[in-house]
């Protein structure tokens, strides 16, 4: 994502979302938990939210309503409400035009649907019609005369003609087709679109198009992408929309909306602290078997992928077998991983020193497994385990110093070495109390010159359960 787009994002005061395959997966109804986070964070920042959908307001599922968007642009812009149900704009299709459309559809043998502001009906019920519409509106009634009792804002075709379907000239002067399914098109006023509906909201609020960002995936988002300040296409979007997009994000299942807004700096990146909830953390479990007992360590490949890969590969290759902890300082740490036993050797699987991987989610708290180094980006094979159990700082002091509150609490209550954060790559954490007991036993051994144990503390082997 380029800097210019991030700069434009600073002007955004409202975000609109399509529903199907943008906020939720149309075929399964799946909505990622991250969507709740997005709406909450935007609300806290004073950024308005809206739905911009081809669906009618009666087709907005409860899970989307629960997000409490500020506006609903529905039926491809033909009907617009605010969160309190007040009508902001509406575009009714004249009855004579509806009747002309029905006459054409019946003459052509095409099934149709009629859509009001808060209900809809079908001309008939067939397998083809059900296949197209039930995933969006599962229980529509059959009532070809629905228009006689309801204003019509949009219509549907149901057929197998595909993109080649054309309205007759007298209808095409006033209506247009927007394909949304292999067997169905929306029939909307020729001047109507999601863009026109969003424009009504923009004018209502006294904003400008450059103040609006939109997420979408389909052909009915084309005009909207032309209108707004920033258009972001989902990962499975129609190729025509992707060409218009300012940015193409990931899919719904991959938390594409959250990822894009994080990149734009519009929401805070979701940060987890696996060391604070180790029981829920995922990752390989390494067991460092020593002549004093076992040290079980949960590794964090998501936060430090290259470092973890290096450690696992060296361990599985037997590189650490028989290597000593060559430097032990009680109330600080135990250090090993150098086959020469001097603190001057060791090589990574990459054949050279490799770069640091500092994660905002990992810290040098007591029990942390970190890489030893000789300065920035000089990682090899050496590592250390933080043993210090006491710090002269309170959680409040550490928080004021910039450490996240959950980590500050751990530092204050359990100890660690905060001065090593952002200097050494953390990539694992002791996994059980028995391991901490072994860590403290090792830290208490007698040492001599250069903090080397008088009697060798030996890594017999390191086993890794992926």
Active centre residues (catalytic): 18
Nearest one of 328, 320, 298 to 440, comparing CA atoms: 328
The answer to whether the beta carbons of residues 232 and 17 sit under 8 Å apart is no
Give DSSP secondary structure letters for 52-71: E-SS-GGGS-HHHHTT--SE
Nearest one of 194, 145, 185 to 166, comparing CA atoms: 185
87-90 sheet: strands from edge to edge:
87-90, 79-82, 71-74, 48-52, 14-17, 212-216, 230-233, 247-248
Nearest one of 116, 136, 114, 112 to 125, comparing CA atoms: 112
Nearest one of 122, 190, 126, 128 to 156, comparing CA atoms: 122
Residues 6 or more apart from 306 whose CB is under 8 A from it? 354, 355, 357
CA pair distance 330, 390, nearest whole angstrom: 12
Which residue's structure tokens are 């954490």? 429
The answer to whether the beta carbons of residues 385 and 462 sit under 8 Å apart is no
Alpha helices of 148-254 — where are they, by DSSP H?
A: 169-172, 194-205, 222-227, 239-244
Q: Which residues of 246-278 are buried (b: 16+ CB within 10 A; e: fewer)?
A: bbbbebbeebbbbbbbbbbebbeeeeebbbbee
Nearest one of 357, 347, 283 to 314, comparing CA atoms: 347
Classify residue 136 by its DSSP letter: T
Orientation angle between helical segments 34-44 and 256-264, nearest 10 degrees: 30
SS3 155: strand
Nearest one of 349, 356, 385, 387 to 373, comparing CA atoms: 356
Structure-token pair, residue 283: 């990752």
């Amino acid at each position: 994502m380029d800097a210019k787009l991030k700069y434009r994002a600073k002007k955004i005061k409202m975000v609109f979302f399509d529903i199907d395959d943008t906020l939720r997966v149309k075929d399964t109804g799946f909505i990622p938990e991250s969507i709740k986070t997005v709406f909450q964070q935007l609300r806290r920042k004073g950024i308005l939210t809206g739905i911009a959908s081809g669906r009618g307001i009666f087709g907005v599922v409860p899970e989307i309503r629960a997000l409490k968007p500020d506006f609903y642009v529905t039926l491809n812009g033909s009907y617009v409400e605010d969160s309190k149900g007040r009508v902001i704009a509406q575009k009714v299709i004249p009855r004579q035009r509806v009747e002309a459309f029905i006459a054409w559809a019946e003459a052509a043998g095409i099934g149709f649907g009629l859509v009001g502001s808060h209900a809809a009906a079908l001309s008939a019920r067939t397998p083809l019609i059900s296949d197209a519409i039930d995933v969006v509106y599962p229980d529509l009634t059959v009532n070809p005369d629905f228009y006689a009792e309801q204003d019509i804002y949009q219509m549907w075709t149901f057929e197998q003609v595909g993109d080649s379907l054309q309205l007759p000239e007298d209808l095409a002067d006033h209506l247009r087709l927007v394909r949304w399914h292999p067997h169905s098109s929306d029939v909307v006023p020729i001047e109507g679109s999601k863009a026109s509906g969003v424009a009504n909201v923009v004018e209502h609020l006294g904003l400008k198009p450059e103040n609006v960002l939109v997420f979408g995936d389909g052909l009915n988002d084309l005009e909207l992408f032309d209108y707004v300040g920033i258009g972001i296409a989902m990962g499975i979007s129609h190729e025509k929309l992707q060409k218009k997009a300012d940015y193409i994000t990931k899919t719904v299942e991959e938390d594409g909306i959250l990822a894009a807004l994080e990149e734009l700096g519009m929401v805070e990146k979701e940060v987890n602290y696996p060391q604070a909830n180790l029981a829920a953390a995922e990752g390989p479990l390494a067991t460092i078997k020593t002549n004093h007992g076992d040290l079980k360590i949960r590794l964090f490949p998501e936060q430090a992928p290259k470092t973890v890969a290096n450690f696992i590969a060296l361990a599985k290759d037997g590189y650490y077998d028989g290597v000593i902890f060559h430097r032990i300082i009680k109330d600080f740490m135990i250090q090993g991983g150098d086959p020469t036993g001097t603190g001057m050797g060791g090589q990574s699987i990459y054949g050279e020193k490799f770069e640091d991987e500092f994660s905002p989610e990992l810290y040098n708290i007591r029990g942390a497994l970190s890489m030893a180094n000789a300065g920035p980006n000089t990682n090899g094979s050496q590592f250390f385990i933080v043993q210090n159990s006491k710090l002269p700082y309170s959680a409040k002091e550490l928080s004021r110093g910039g450490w996240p509150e959950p980590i500050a609490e751990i530092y204050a209550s359990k100890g660690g070495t905060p001065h090593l954060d952002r200097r050494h790559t953390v990539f694992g954490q002791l996994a059980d109390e028995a391991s901490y007991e072994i860590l403290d036993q090792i830290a208490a051994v007698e040492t001599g010159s250069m903090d080397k144990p008088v009697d060798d503390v030996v890594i017999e082997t390191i086993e890794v359960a992926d």
